[in-house]
């Protein structure tokens, strides 16, 4: 069962572009939604953490959750070459156990 689906890309954009990354999920019990950034040969680094539906902004990053559509997004404004990485969505819920359920990750390259 594919709990979390994420387009693996790769996605290539010019510097300064707005990037949109997305995940869909099937389990309506998910309530906590995370975005992680993973550089090559490094561990996932937490970028955004949101609870339930709505938007959250942190600098150039905006996370959106639409629970009715079971769809989450991460927007990166004014993308920089240093944003080049794999972006992982992850989610969990009060009744889904202790683990986070991860997407496959989207590989992003920002071209100078």
- What is the C-alpha to C-alpha distance for residues 90 and 69, in angstroms, rounded to an integer? 16
- Residue 36 near another protein by CB under 8 A: yes
Residue pair 67/52 in contact by the 8 Å Cβ criterion: yes
Indicate the SS3 state at residue 67: coil
Site for another protein in 44-63 (CB under 8 A): 44-46, 49
- Residue 34 near another protein by CB under 8 A: yes
Residue from 14, 68, 98, 112 in contact with another protein (CB under 8 A): 98
The stretch near another protein (CB under 8 A) out of 18-26, 37-45, 57-65, 77-85 is 37-45
Question: For residues 26-61, b (16+ Cβ closer than 10 Å) or e, as one string?
Answer: eeeebbbbbbbbeeeeeebeebbebeeeeeeeeeeb
Count Cα atoms within 13 angstroms, Cβ side, for 77. 7
Q: How far is the CB of 111 from another protein (least distance, A)?
A: 23
In the shown chain, the binding pattern of residues 2 to 31 toward another protein, with x for contact by CB under 8 A and - for none, equals: -----------------------------x
Residue pair 101/91 in contact by the 8 Å Cβ criterion: yes
Please say which residue, 35 or 64, places its beta carbon nearer to another protein: 35
Residues that bind another protein (CB under 8 A): 31-32, 34, 36, 41-46, 49, 88, 90, 92-94, 97-105
């Amino acid at each position: 069962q594919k709990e979390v689906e994420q387009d693996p890309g790769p996605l290539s954009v010019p510097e300064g572009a707005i990037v949109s990354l997305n995940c869909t999920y099937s389990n309506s019990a998910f309530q906590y939604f995370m975005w992680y950034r993973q550089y090559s040969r490094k561990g996932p680094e937490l970028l955004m953490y949101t609870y339930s539906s709505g938007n959250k902004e942190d600098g150039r990053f905006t996370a959106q959750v639409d629970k009715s559509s079971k769809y989450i997004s991460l927007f990166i404004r004014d993308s920089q070459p240093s944003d080049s990485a794999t972006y992982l969505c992850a989610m969990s819920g009060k009744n889904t156990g202790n683990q986070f359920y991860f997407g496959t990750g989207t590989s992003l390259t920002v071209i100078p």
